Amino acid sequence: MPPKQQLSKAAKAAAAMAGGKKSKKKWSKNNHKDKAQHAVILDQEKLDRIMKEVPTYRYVSVSVLVDRLKIGGSMARVALRDLEKQGIIKPVSKHSKQAIYTRAVASE
């Protein structure tokens, strides 16, 4: 086997600089769910919509109001308590974590 050709200092430096240019591996694919933009302040338009639509729902809960009306959870809880006080909806099951209501007047 013939001896290796000795490289100059400049050639060695160029070879060292050429290596290691590969980018780092990305472990996450960056598929993030978009943050929901729900209303947190009750304005007249949201109140009118709650008073019109919620009495027609057969199943009413905080998660239903958040999903359908695009309001925050704390606002949905306040709205449900208010609707129950007015007699528009009646409780089916009340728990500290999840309250389930139904419309007060059953339609045939």
Neighbours of 60 (CB within 10 A): 27
Q: Any idea what the CATH number is for the domain that residue 44 is in? A: 1.10.10.10
Residue 21 lies in a domain: no
Give the mean pLDDT of the chain: 85
In a domain? residue 18: no
31 falls within a domain: no
Q: Residue 61: which domain range?
A: 37-107
- Number of domains within the chain: 1
Residue 15, domain member (yes or no): no
As a whole number, mean pLDDT of residues 65-84 equals 94
- pLDDT band with cut points at 50, 70 and 90 for residue 72: very high
> What is the pLDDT, as a whole number, of residue 106?
54
Give me the helices (H) in the chain, please.
9-18, 44-53, 62-69, 73-86
Q: Does 41 map to a domain?
A: yes
12 part of a folded domain: no
Q: What pLDDT is recorded for position 1?
A: 65
